[in-house]
Every structure is written in C-alpha cells, then in structure tokens.
Amino acid sequence: MLRYLKMAGGCAVAALSACGATDRPVELPTLNGRPTMVLAHRGASGYLPEETVEAYARAIEQGADAIEPDVISTKDGVLIARHDPNLAFSTDVAQHPEFAARKRTLNVDGEMQEGWFASDFTLAEIKTLGGVSTDAERPQEFNGRYKIATIQEVIDMIKKSGRDIALYVETKNPTFHRQQGVPLEDRLLALLAAAGWSGRDAPVFVQSFEPGSLKYLRGKGSTLKLVQLIDADDVDLKTGALTYAAPYDRPYDWAQAGDKRLFSAMVSPAGLAEIKTYADGIGPWKRYIVSVKGTVGADGKVADVNGDGKVNETDAATLPATTLVADAHKAGLFVHPYTFRNEPRRLAADYKGDPKAEYKQFYALGVDGLFSDFADTALAARAEYLKQLGY
C-alpha cells in the first residue's frame, strides 16, 4: 500500500531516497504498509486500575486501535480480564475478611504463590472486589473503586463503541488452567463464536507465551489471528544482553515437556519459521528489538549516571536495533512488541524523558503494532511521526 508525500521544499523527509520531485511514493516499513497499530495494554492502565471496566472504557475513548485483556477463568467458568490467577496482585481481596479463609498456596507456572486465586471464586464474588494499581508511581486514588471486567463486557464495549476496535486477548497461564481442570481455550473460542467472531477477518487477536495454547487453537480449526509472545527476564546493563531466569526463561509448556530451549530460540530464523507454522505474528519484549546498555564505572558496576540514587534504564543508552523486525517480516510474521510506558524510570537516556521519542523510533523500525499503558501518548506520537512523513 503506497503512500505519497507532498514535499514542502528540500529533502526534509529522511524516508525519501532522492530530492527533486514533488511527489514520491513512500511505503511505511510495516509488513502491510499501514500505520502501526496502538494496542491498549490492559486498557488505560497508566491512568486507572488495569483490566477494569473503566480502564477499558478510557482506552476506547482515547482512540486505541485494539484493547488487550488477559484471560483467566472463575470457579463457575466465566472468563474475566486479569493478568494473574492470583487476585492478591491486582485487587483488594486482602481487605475482604469474608474471603480470608480462601487464602492458600498454589504452584503457578513453577512458582509457589500465596494468595487468593480466581478459580476459587464465582463471578459474583469477584465482582465484589475492586481493582488496584500495580505500580506505586501511578494514581492510587481509584484503588478499590472499579470492578474487574469480564471478557463478555469487553466484547460488548467494543461493539457499542461504533469504531473498528480489535479485541486482543491473551490466554493467561494456560497450563495452570489445564491443571486446574479449566479448558481455557475452548471457553474462549465459544465466547468469541457467540459474538460472531470466529473467522479470519474477525477483529480478534489471540496471544500466548505458550506455543501449545496457540497450537491447540489451530488444531481446533480456528483461523483467528494468533500471536506468539516472547519474553525474557531482564537486561544486563553492563552488556545490553538479555537475561533469562525462571519463570521468564522459557514457555512453561516447554519447561513441562523438558524442552531446554530459551525464549531467545524463538527470534532466530529457525525459530521464526517454526512460529510461522502455527501463528501469524510475534509479540516480543521490546528489548529484543532495541536493547539498552549502561556505563560501567571503575568499580565494575553500572554507574548511576543521573545521580538519582538508583541504577535503571534512565542511566542507560539504547543500542543499535537488531534485525528482528526485518527477520520476522521476511518470515511473513507481523511484530507487536511490548510494553511501552511513560514513567521516566522506564525511558533510556537517549529519549531525554520524552516517551514519544521511543515510540517514534519503533514506528520508524517498522513494528506493526505496539502495546502501551498510555495509548493516548502512543497515538499522539504516531500522529506526529506520520505528519513528519507528510501523511
């Protein structure tokens, strides 16, 4: 899909290969040549408690191209939007004495967790809980005020919006749910079918960190757009290399099967070719595309360059981009990296505290979509980026 730039004089647009003509065909570097999609990660989670009805409503109001709920199941089989089966992480369940006796310890993807688990609660009980912000730097005044959204409620909100908005769901901890006797994928397919969203052209993406979950969906005959998520534990700021530690080292279904490969195997040409056999795109952590590296001092430690008493990404510089976007596109896979945020501590020094600078870098690299906790910022950056190209 070719776009044409109207030159205002000179060769001000870097995308042009030559000067002298007033109109030049310029195709955006995405797989389909269209502008990068902005995907609202857990709703407007930068402003309101994540995955609540209000957070999704705000993301729709902001103009996001897609909204993302993580999918887990209640005791009575209702699919709800929650990042973790353990409700202690993102709700006020601990403040409900009526549920005190439900507290227990479970193995979630190889990690022993103590808390309250959604599979022990009916939907009616979960609707008495309030969502809380999971980031201490974000607004806390809404904690407990807003209720957890069901996937059906999110579908209804999209349909009522009157806009072309995609539902971008993640099958969360599918092996854990299977161990709990919950067929997560089957319930999701049934819910989507009831919404009339079963075909290839449905406004739906389904993502998972576990290849087995996506393969199961394909095996059931689903033609929905499927996305393989690719994780890592952290970045070694001394070198810029990604690090791998459980449970972020490999898909949990690989761990269960004794597959010793790391997530890093997925970004090799062979790994991308394997993904193409069951999925349509990849959702890598953004550091697979642009990593960061700090300054190592004489003591061998990463220096606190900005002197704020902490060592984090604000003390690091970005490294040259990898070839992952081009490699994935060559394999016929779209690329939707995660997660982009506004907080200064999450921005490399190169961006000078401006989150739009990071977005624009990734837009120019040709990512096909990106996940943001602040969809409004991502959209504003996209508008500026496209304007700079003359769109």
Mean pLDDT of 218-228: 97
pLDDT at 78: 96
4 and 47 assigned to the same domain: no
Q: What is the pLDDT of residues 365-377, one digit of tens each?
A: 999 999 999 999 9
Cβ-in-10-Å burial (0-12, 13-18, 19+) of 166 comes to: buried
189 and 255 assigned to the same domain: yes
Q: Which domain holds residue 338?
A: 31-388
185 and 236 assigned to the same domain: yes
Position 6 confidence tier, pLDDT thresholds 50, 70, 90: very low
Mean pLDDT of 18-44: 79
318 and 333 assigned to the same domain: yes
Residue 8 has pLDDT above 90, yes or no: no
47 and 168 assigned to the same domain: yes
More confident residue, 86 or 12: 86
6 and 80 assigned to the same domain: no
pLDDT at 23: 54
* Amino acid letter, 40: A
Q: How high does pLDDT run on average in the chain?
A: 92
* Maximum separation of any 2 CA atoms in the chain, in Å: 75
In the chain, how many domains are there?
2
Residue 364 has pLDDT above 90, yes or no: yes
The string over 286-308, giving b where at least 16 C-beta atoms fall within 10 Å of a residue's C-beta and e elsewhere, is: bbbbbbbbbeeeeeeebbbeeee
Residue 205, helix vs strand vs coil = strand
Residue 150 has pLDDT above 70, yes or no: yes
pLDDT at 9: 30
Contacts 24+ apart (CB under 8 A), 266-270: 266/228, 266/230, 267/230, 267/324, 267/327, 269/327, 269/331
Distance, in Å, from the CA atom of 339 to the CA atom of 52, rounded to the nearest integer, reads: 19
Q: What is the CATH classification number for the domain harbouring 252?
A: 3.20.20.190
Which of 28-37, 175-184, 211-220 has the lowest average pLDDT? 175-184
pLDDT at 253: 97
284 and 182 assigned to the same domain: yes
Report the interhelical angle of 53-62 vs 151-161 (nearest 10°): 30
Residue 248 has pLDDT above 50, yes or no: yes
pLDDT at 87: 97
Distance, in Å, from the CA atom of 305 to the CA atom of 81, rounded to the nearest integer, reads: 39
Encoded tokens for 248:
């972020």
Mean pLDDT of 274-296: 98
Which of 25-34, 256-265, 357-366 has the lowest average pLDDT? 25-34
Distance, in Å, from the CA atom of 370 to the CA atom of 338, rounded to the nearest integer, reads: 6
324 and 374 assigned to the same domain: yes
